[in-house]
Homo-oligomer: A and B are copies of this chain.
Amino acid sequence: MANPAEGQSTVGAAASGDRSVAALAALVGATLEVPDGFDTSTTVESLETVERAGNRSLTFVGAAKYARLLERSPALAAVVSADVPLTEAARARAILRVKSADHAMIAILERFAAPELLPEPGIDPSARIHPTAVIAPGARIGPCVTVGAGASIGARTALLDGVAVYQGARIGEDCVLHAHVVVRERCVIGNRVILASGVAIGTDGFGYRPSPDGRGIAKVPHIGNVLIEDDVEIGANSCVDRGKFGATRIGAGTKIDNLCQIGHNVRIGAHCVLAGQVGVAGSSVLEDYVVVGGQAGIAGHITIGRGARIGAQSGVAKSLAPGAEVLGSPAVDAREFRRFFAAQKSGRG
């Protein structure tokens, strides 16, 4: 073949509900406007952006600039936000009027989502479960998984291929740990937690002291653990180090993207959002609702106040007040940063 075909990419692997135009309109509480003769029982075959929609696609229009693209699109149907005006050309298809196309998108995505294909409930014969480990009913233990001495796995939790749960770790209910996740000894994970492939929970913290002979450095033992609260999601190949003593903690509902590094004894509050490749050094505190942009770094032993927002690639070396917005490395108030940068560009720096 030349290069892989893209056509089937958005078709869910299995139907999970009625996907007719009429049914989708009902699903999101839309007002449905259709051209003369349009059959509202027609099935939507894919979801697509306006630019890429085909004649069996449903698309989404949340802003006026996309409405113009809709005029030339073959899309079968469009979910359009209430405040977006449409020309007659744009209305040459089914229009599902909703308050917010963005919000309606979630319900429609859920209808199109393939059922998550987890391992069957039960324990794959190739898994190694220590006799003292406890596996709750309905748990799904995939091939080559290991569960160490005294560890426990909650009801309906799925451990995919090769997941390694070390001694004494405790995983709650309804979690999904993707292939090759590692949960080190005595770490504790709540309910409905999703860990993407390759996530490392409970690695030794990065702590050293001068060695007794004065020539090198000696490892500081890390005897704490990691506590991950309910509804946390952590992206692929991210790492959370265990505490030196006490716990490194990730608060309920917090979402961490791929390739992030969370140092030992960090305490992240509830409902924080950390984008990809963020690093948080040891013992820092992020209060609730903090948002951190991609590749930003947060130094050790500081506190980021509730709801603070840290821009992408920023370097934060000092504590931030609640609600602060910062940019740059070293990070400064976002308005100051923009002013400074604008001045430099105009030659008045």
Binding site for B on A (CB under 8 A): 1-6, 9-10, 12-13, 46-49, 52, 102-103, 105-106, 109-110, 112-114, 117, 124, 126, 128, 142-144, 146, 148-150, 160-162, 164, 166-168, 170, 172, 178-180, 182, 184-186, 188-191, 194, 196-198, 200, 203-204, 206, 208-209, 215-225, 227-231, 233, 235-237, 239, 241, 243-247, 249, 252-253, 255, 257-259, 261, 263, 270-271, 273, 275-277, 279, 281, 294-295, 297, 299, 312-313, 315, 317, 328-330, 332, 340-341, 344-345, 349
Which of B117, B149, B160, B281 is A164 in contact with, Cβ under 8 Å? B160
User: With A164-B161, A172-B4 as given contacts, are A259 and B239 in contact (CB-CB < 8 Å)?
Assistant: yes
Give Cα A106 to B252, complex, Å. Answer: 32
Cβ contacts under 8 Å, A109 to chain B: 220-223, 244-245
Q: Are A235 and B203 in contact (CB under 8 A)?
A: yes
Q: Are A13 and B186 in contact (CB under 8 A)?
A: yes
Give Cα A110 to B328, complex, Å. Answer: 40
Give Cα A61 to B328, complex, Å. Answer: 34
Q: Are B329 and A313 in contact (CB under 8 A)?
A: yes
Cβ contacts under 8 Å, A281 to chain B: 275-276, 294, 312
Give Cα A253 to B142, complex, Å. Answer: 35
Give Cα A49 to B228, complex, Å. Answer: 20
Chain A interface SS verdict (over half): loop
Q: Are A294 and B312 in contact (CB under 8 A)?
A: no
Q: Are A48 and B245 in contact (CB under 8 A)?
A: yes
**Can you give 9 A-B contacts (C-beta < 8 A)?**
A10-B246, A12-B223, A112-B245, A161-B164, A164-B197, A203-B235, A259-B279, A276-B281, A312-B315
Q: Are B223 and A3 in contact (CB under 8 A)?
A: no
Q: Are A167 and B273 in contact (CB under 8 A)?
A: no
Give Cα A92 to B195, complex, Å. Answer: 45
Give Cα A332 to B229, complex, Å. Answer: 42
Which of B117, B148, B329, B332 is A148 in contact with, Cβ under 8 Å? B117
Cβ contacts under 8 Å, A299 to chain B: 312
Q: Are A4 and B126 in contact (CB under 8 A)?
A: no
Q: Are A246 and B52 in contact (CB under 8 A)?
A: yes
